Amino acid sequence: MDGAAIVEFLAASIRIATPLLFGALGGLLSERAGTFAVGIEGMMLAGAFGGAVTMLLTADTGTGLAVSAGSGAAAGLVVAVATAKFRADHMVTGLALNILVVGLTSFLLRGLFGGQAPVIQLPTLKALPIPYLADLPGIGRVLFHQPALTYAALALTLAIWVLLAKTRTGLMLRAVGENPEAAFTAGSNPVRVRMAAIVAGGALAGLGGAVLSLQEVGTFTDGMTNGRGFIALAAIIVGRWMPFPTLLGCLLFGGVAALELRVQGWDLPVSSYIIQMTPYLAALAVLAGIGRGARLPAAIGTAFTRN
Amino acid sequence: MSEDRSPRVNEVDASDGGAMATATRHALEALAAADWLRAVVLASAAVALALGLTAVLIAISGKDPVVAYAALVRGAIGSLDRIAFALNKSTPYILGGVGVALCFRARVINIGAEGQIAVGGIAATWVALNIAASLGVIVIPAAIVAAALGGAGWAAFAAAIRLTRGVHEVLCTLLLNFVGLLLVSEALHGSMGEPGAGFPQSPLFMRAAWLPNLVTGTDLHIGILIAVLAVVACHLLLWRTTFGFRLRVLGASPAAAAYAGVSFPRCAFAVMALAGGLAGIAGGIEVLGVHYRLIEGFSLGFGFNAVAVALLASINPIAVLPAGLFLGFLEAGALAMQREVGVPSSLVFVIQGLMMVFVLCAIGIGIRQQRV
């Protein structure tokens, strides 16, 4: 790869990492408050669907993004009620949500448009070069020549870090994830905090879905998230449940995916199907490499009851 | 799901553990006997609620729910052919579901049935395409054994990563599902593909490798018999063997299991390999009995169906049979409903997802105690 190709590769890595980052930050909120975020995949898919259908009907980007966040939050609410209120198993509830959303989006896509899935072709959100900075050699092209939602994802990482590390709300959220009994004694309501964290996380994951449907491809197809929610989960583990390391985890997996796309053009003696396995195998290898000892929130996966 | 499931307590004195185990077993079995009615009521309620909510969805999409559900019932049980079709559909769900149920018993959240089914299908295809002629009459048993080994191996791989590297089994199995599906594509675009076919598929198997039919004149193959046998075997395994008891103790109380000297890693590895083997057989049956060839994406969605079946059965192996049949008939009916009334068959996933959430909530608040 020459210089220009490397710049293109890095820029693509960041772009591909964007939906992962939204999903991972959403999952981070949920997990730091003590709920496993296996449902991220479904929340992203809900957001991708809500955004694409709204854009098809209104052609207004703002509304599209709002609806995608709302769809993700609604999906999150299902998990929130089931796990926090009804103390359902976190992992399997997340999976159930994923199936539910796959079915619901596929059904509505046809049902709302008279039985046939409509052809959705939306203009994708274009790159938004930042004046002056975008002209910097190399780095300008990599960092400052990205679509709007990519900047938003990077800003969001900072915001989540501030929220978790520097605010009272963040402290309460972390306390609920580490020791809900103590947080309850200190006057917070762990059930409500967990529900809020899951729903907020769902909204972020929904935006991640919108990145896919509105910024990357400009359409919606059944099950289009294709495991990205699970890769985002892996990124959270790689990032040790901290925002900026999670960003690095997403960039790592974004880089693998960007490389995958390029390798397919190199005419290697390996088939494209083997190459398509790399994101999943890379996630598995990285997780296995990290091994045990990852710093899980202490009370994750447990139910909170008042007595 | 806590990280400290693997017991670190030293093995206790065997006679002591044995006495405790016997006492616990009697207490638990008394509890279990009174419990099945609740499980039936719970499953029916979850199904009814899910069907009710989806009726609203059908109405929103501008169709009459009554007409749609009538078409669904006709499509499921309206004729001998439809029943045969539905029974064939149920077979992989039952086989996959019973394995998942055993895993869930021991709190091992194996959701890799999809990948295991895929690899099982590849293994059976390899036998049917390459060595069928030299095997003669044992080609079908050989292909099914290969499928079981393929599925078990795939699950064992995930289990090994889980147990040696501490990566949660949900992520291991999920990620390997994607890899397993791609392996099928790779095989079909490589050595197993049919040259010149418009669709990624293998050549048709030779006649000797087709699963025999159970009822002449229909498509019903003997897979459903294998599934029923597997359910009975798993039921006996869970309730009548030491290994089954270990699984139940692990699920009921990891601490008690550690005290009784039950090794989580060993049990988890064994139960995942067993579930993988069953899923692999499901994959083998699918290619040998339904398609008579390997086709791309043949296992799509089966893994999640297996989880749904296991939950609907309250992770009770014997109850996997009605639960799996229900899902198979539901899907067969939904496909007919889509054709006749134009209601998309993806509704099945909605019903399944809702059903699972309801069952999970009910278990969560203790309407149905998780019995051991």
A103 to B166: CB separation less than 8 angstroms, yes or no: no
Q: Is the pLDDT of residue B196 over 50?
A: yes
In contact, A171 and A181? CB cutoff 8 Å? no
Q: What is the pLDDT of residue B13?
A: 37
Q: Is the pLDDT of residue B2 over 50?
A: no
Which chain A positions have a beta carbon within 8 Å of B105's beta carbon?
A: none
Burial of residue B107 (number of CB atoms within 10 Å: 0-12, 13-18, 19+)? buried
* A153: closest CA of chain B, how far (Å): 24
Q: What's the mean pLDDT in A271-279?
A: 88
Rg from Cα positions in chain A: 19
Burial of residue A131 (number of CB atoms within 10 Å: 0-12, 13-18, 19+)? exposed
Kindly give, in sequence order, each residue whose CB lies less than 8 Å from that of residue B157, ignoring residues fewer than 6 positions away.
Answer: B176
More confident residue, A264 or A160: A160
Q: What is the pLDDT of residue B11?
A: 35
A301 to B60: CB separation less than 8 angstroms, yes or no: no
Share of chain B above pLDDT 70, in %: 89
Mutate to test the interface with A, among B49, B105, B109, B361 (most CBs of A within 10 A): B361
Query: H-type helices in chain A, by residue range?
Result: 3-32, 40-58, 61-80, 90-111, 139-143, 148-166, 168-178, 180-185, 190-210, 228-238, 243-263, 272-276, 278-290
Structure tokens at A110: 């046809």
Q: Is the pLDDT of residue A263 over 90?
A: no
Among candidates A88, A234, A277 on the partner chain, residue whose Cβ is nearest the Cβ of B363: A88
Q: Is the pLDDT of residue B195 over 90?
A: no
Out of A167-171, B18-22, B149-153, B347-351, pick the least confident.
Answer: B18-22
Q: What is the pLDDT of residue A113?
A: 82
Nearest to B27 by CA among B320, B256, B362, B363: B256
From the centroid of its chain, how far is CA B11?
Answer: 33
Q: What's the mean pLDDT in B187-216?
A: 89
Kindly give, in sequence order, each residue whose CB lies less than 8 Å from that of residue B209, ignoring residues fewer than 6 positions away.
Answer: B127, B128, B132, B139, B140, B143, B288, B292
Helix H or strand E segment including B141: helix B139-165
Express each pLDDT in B353-365 by its tens digit: 999 999 888 888 7
Burial of residue A132 (number of CB atoms within 10 Å: 0-12, 13-18, 19+)? exposed
Q: What is the pLDDT of residue A294?
A: 58
Q: Is the pLDDT of residue B22 over 60?
A: no
Nearest to A69 by CA among A200, A203, A195: A203
Highest-scoring range by mean pLDDT, A22-26, A117-121, B14-18 = A22-26
Q: What is the pLDDT of residue B326?
A: 95
For residue B38, the SS3 value is helix
Banded pLDDT at B29 (limits 50, 70, 90)? low
Q: What is the pLDDT of residue A172?
A: 95
In contact, B294 and B63? CB cutoff 8 Å? no
CA distances from A115 to A102, A191, B60, B70, B345 (A): 17, 40, 12, 18, 11
Express each pLDDT in A85-131 by its tens digit: 999 989 889 999 999 999 999 999 988 887 778 888 888 888 888 88
Q: What is the pLDDT of residue B272?
A: 97
Q: Is the pLDDT of residue B264 over 70?
A: yes
Interface size between A and B, measured as CB pairs under 8 A: 169
Q: Is the pLDDT of residue B14 over 70?
A: no
* A297: closest CA of chain B, how far (Å): 11
For residue B241, the SS3 value is coil
Q: Is the pLDDT of residue B34 over 80?
A: no
Q: What is the pLDDT of residue A232?
A: 96
Ramachandran quadrant class, B265 (left: phi over 0; alpha: psi -120 to 50; beta: rest) = alpha
Q: Which residues pair with B201 in a beta bridge?
A: B295
Which chain A positions have a beta carbon within 8 Å of B296's beta carbon?
A: none
Q: Is the pLDDT of residue B372 over 80?
A: no
- Rounded distance between C-alpha atoms, residue B280 and residue B149, angstroms: 7
Q: Please give the domain boundaries of chain A with CATH numbers for all domains.
A: 3-290 (1.10.3470)
From the centroid of its chain, how far is CA B136?
Answer: 30
Compare all CA atoms of chain B with the CA of A111 and give the residue at the minimum distance: B61
Return the DSSP state at B367. Answer: S
Residue-by-residue DSSP string for A50-95: HHHHHHHHH--HHHHHHHHHHHHHHHHHHHHIIIIIT---HHHHHH
Among candidates A110, A288, A303 on the partner chain, residue whose Cβ is nearest the Cβ of B344: A110
Q: What is the pLDDT of residue A135?
A: 85
Q: What is the pLDDT of residue B138?
A: 92
A96 to B161: CB separation less than 8 angstroms, yes or no: no
A38 close to B (CB below 8 A): yes
Q: Is the pLDDT of residue A222 over 90?
A: yes
Residue-by-residue DSSP string for B190-205: TTTSPTT-SSSBPPPP
- Rounded distance between C-alpha atoms, residue A46 and residue A107, angstroms: 12
Express each pLDDT in B58-81 by its tens digit: 998 888 999 999 999 999 999 999
Q: What is the pLDDT of residue A123?
A: 87
Residue-by-residue DSSP string for B103-129: HHHTT-----HHHHHHHHHHHHHHIII
Banded pLDDT at A132 (limits 50, 70, 90)? confident
Strands (E) located in chain B: none
Ramachandran quadrant class, B368 (left: phi over 0; alpha: psi -120 to 50; beta: rest) = beta
- Rounded distance between C-alpha atoms, residue A185 and residue B131, angstroms: 68
Among candidates B62, B161, B304 on the partner chain, residue whose Cβ is nearest the Cβ of A284: B161
B172 to A222: CB separation less than 8 angstroms, yes or no: no
More confident residue, B200 or A138: B200
Which chain A positions have a beta carbon within 8 Å of B111's beta carbon?
A: 95
Is ipTM over 0.85? Answer: yes
Out of A137-146, A159-168, B222-231, pick the least confident.
Answer: A137-146
Q: What's the mean pLDDT in B236-252?
A: 94
pTM strictly above 0.80: yes
Q: What's the mean pLDDT in A45-66?
A: 95
Out of A193-207, A281-295, B149-163, pick the least confident.
Answer: A281-295
Q: What is the pLDDT of residue A114?
A: 73
Q: What's the mean pLDDT in A140-156?
A: 92
Return the DSSP state at A32. Answer: H
Express each pLDDT in B117-134 by its tens digit: 999 999 999 999 999 888
* B124: closest CA of chain A, how far (Å): 21
Q: What is the pLDDT of residue B363?
A: 82
Give me the helix-helix angle, B302-312 and B317-341, nearest 10°.
Answer: 120
Q: What is the pLDDT of residue A266?
A: 79
Q: What's the mean pLDDT in A238-263?
A: 93
Q: What is the pLDDT of residue B215?
A: 86
Residue type (1 letter), B354: L
Which CATH architecture best describes the domain B39-364?
Orthogonal Bundle (1.10)
Banded pLDDT at B114 (limits 50, 70, 90)? very high
From the centroid of its chain, how far is CA B28?
Answer: 26
For residue A128, the SS3 value is coil
In contact, A204 and A40? CB cutoff 8 Å? no
